[in-house]
């Protein structure tokens, strides 16, 4: 197994809920991320999947050290990133980069593509000395499949897919080891999604990158992911290899998500295998007691309200799942996006 490049240990991020305008009073906590642990190995892709609001973007911001965690740790090559200072912190910021969902809102419309892609060099001058920057930016544009001659154009002169390529070039500028991709293709047309996914896959192969790849749909991450973590209300419901999660899911939530993945031929799936996820996701400010999924789970028993299920491997299963009654259930064939 390759080196552990990132270790996430019981990570917690709560946001205070306040009332009042002048005298703000904290009346509760939004438990956006509530005890998440996983490893990321060099060169691997960990898919992180869950419905909107389950804490994926919060997780990405804490991984990037853009926000401090409320609890727990992120270890980069065995070192707690919260303890890094000065030059070490700067080096860490080089090594972990973020690609966000909406390239248009994350790119300054008044900057040229050359300025946008080269901006990281202003802070990390050691990566590209001033005289070599233009050439380096053109190399990056070429690397992501953009025309290097378009270096003086503005973001609005590019299509959505091309703008995401600009975002990727910018993330690559400092030659990072890890890229956190927060729903990088969610805002793109389906036909463009595959092109951007292929580019990310090729860049990973060529540059040896490690990815944390966030999506709200299991079908998006399947092809790219070595392992997948399924999140629900700030916690990991189930984590395993691509095969374990898609072929032998054991958590009722994962099973429901997979059952909801569209298949090209609706007659090919038996009715009894279809699990419909009903009801809304509860508020992370007031999560259900015990198992957080119990208000939407068709298997829920009394114990589920009393005891929180640990994320452990149970008898008859081959990977960790946070369900008291984790068991493999046959899921009808799903297809890849």
**Residues forming the site for ligand SF4 (CB under 6 A):** 252, 291, 293-294, 297, 299-300, 304, 309, 323-325
DSSP symbol at 20? -
Tell me the C-alpha to C-alpha distance, in Å, between residue 215 and each of 137, 153, 212, 306.
29, 30, 10, 31
Our CB check for ligand ADP shows the closer of 58 and 204 to be 58
Tokens of residue 151, six digits: 């270096």
237 in contact with ligand ADP (CB under 6 A): no
Report the partner that residue 294 touches, choosing among ligand ADP, ligand SF4, Mg ion, none (CB closer than 5 to 8 A by kind).
Answer: ligand SF4
Report the partner that residue 150 touches, choosing among ligand SF4, Mg ion, ligand ADP, none (CB closer than 5 to 8 A by kind).
Answer: none
Give min distance, CB of 9 to ligand ADP, in A: 19
Which span sits near ligand ADP by CB under 6 A: 45-53, 191-199, 247-255, 294-302?
45-53
Give min distance, CB of 319 to Mg ion, in A: 25
Which span sits near Mg ion by CB under 5 A: 49-57, 119-127, 187-195, 301-309?
49-57
Helices (H), strands (E): how many in the chain? 12, 10
Report the partner that residue 304 touches, choosing among ligand SF4, ligand ADP, Mg ion, none (CB closer than 5 to 8 A by kind).
Answer: ligand SF4
Is-contact 242 226, C-beta < 8 A? yes
284 in contact with ligand ADP (CB under 6 A): yes
Is-contact 49 239, C-beta < 8 A? no
Candidate residues 6, 8, 11, 32; the one interacting with ligand ADP per rule CB under 6 A: 32
Of the candidates 131, 132, 169, the one whose C-alpha atom is nearest the C-alpha of residue 150 is: 169
Angstrom distance (rounded) from CA 79 to CA 285:
31
| Residues binding Mg ion: number (CB under 5 A) | 2
Footprint of ligand ADP on 51-70 (CB under 6 A): 52-58
Tokens of residue 124, six digits: 């990390």
Tell me the C-alpha to C-alpha distance, in Å, between residue 292 and each of 27, 234, 283, 284, 297.
21, 9, 10, 9, 9
Angstrom distance (rounded) from CA 283 to CA 287:
6
60 in contact with Mg ion (CB under 5 A): no
57 in contact with Mg ion (CB under 5 A): yes
Our CB check for ligand SF4 shows the closer of 38 and 293 to be 293
Tell me the C-alpha to C-alpha distance, in Å, between residue 40 and each of 120, 179, 180, 285.
25, 11, 11, 29
Residue with tokens 């595959």: 194
- Render the burial of 55-85: b for 16+ CB within 10 Å, e for the rest: bbbbbbbbbbbeeebbebbbbbeeeebeebe
Our CB check for ligand ADP shows the closer of 53 and 184 to be 53
Report the partner that residue 58 touches, choosing among ligand ADP, Mg ion, ligand SF4, none (CB closer than 5 to 8 A by kind).
Answer: ligand ADP
Residue numbers at the binding site for Mg ion (CB under 5 A): 56-57
Residue numbers at the binding site for ligand ADP (CB under 6 A): 15, 30, 32, 50, 52-58, 284
């Amino acid at each position: 197994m390759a080196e552990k490049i990132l270790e996430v240990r019981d990570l917690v991020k709560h946001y205070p809920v306040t009332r009042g305008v002048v005298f703000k009073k904290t009346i509760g906590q939004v438990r956006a991320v509530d005890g998440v642990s996983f490893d990321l190995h060099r060169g691997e892709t960990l898919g992180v999947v869950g419905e909107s609001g389950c804490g994926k973007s919060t997780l990405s911001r804490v991984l990037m050290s853009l926000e401090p965690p409320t609890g727990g740790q992120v270890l980069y090559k065995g070192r707690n990133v919260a303890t890094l200072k000065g030059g070490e912190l700067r080096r860490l910021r080089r090594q972990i980069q973020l690609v966000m969902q909406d390239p248009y809102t994350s790119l300054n419309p008044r900057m040229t593509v050359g300025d946008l892609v080269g901006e990281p060099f202003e802070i990390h001058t050691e990566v590209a000395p001033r005289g070599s920057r233009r050439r380096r930016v053109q190399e990056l544009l070429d690397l992501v499949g953009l025309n290097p001659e378009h270096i003086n154009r503005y973001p609005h002169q590019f299509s959505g897919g091309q703008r995401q390529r600009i975002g990727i070039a910018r993330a690559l500028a400092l030659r990072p080891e890890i890229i956190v991709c927060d729903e990088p293709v969610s805002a793109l047309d389906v036909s463009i999604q595959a092109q951007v996914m292929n580019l990310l896959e090729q860049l990973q192969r060529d540059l040896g990158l490690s990815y944390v790849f966030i999506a709200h749909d299991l079908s998006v991450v399947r092809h790219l992911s070595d392992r997948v973590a399924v999140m629900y209300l700030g916690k990991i419901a189930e984590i395993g290899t691509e095969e374990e999660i898609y072929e032998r899911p054991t958590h009722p939530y994962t099973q429901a998500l997979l059952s909801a993945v569209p298949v090209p031929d609706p007659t090919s799936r038996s009715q009894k295998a279809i699990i419909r996820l009903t009801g809304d996701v509860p508020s992370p400010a007031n999560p259900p007691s015990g198992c957080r999924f119990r208000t939407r789970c068709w298997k829920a028993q009394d114990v589920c309200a009393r005891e929180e299920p640990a994320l452990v491997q149970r008898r008859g299963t081959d990977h960790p799942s946070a369900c008291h009654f984790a068991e493999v259930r046959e899921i009808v064939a799903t297809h890849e996006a």
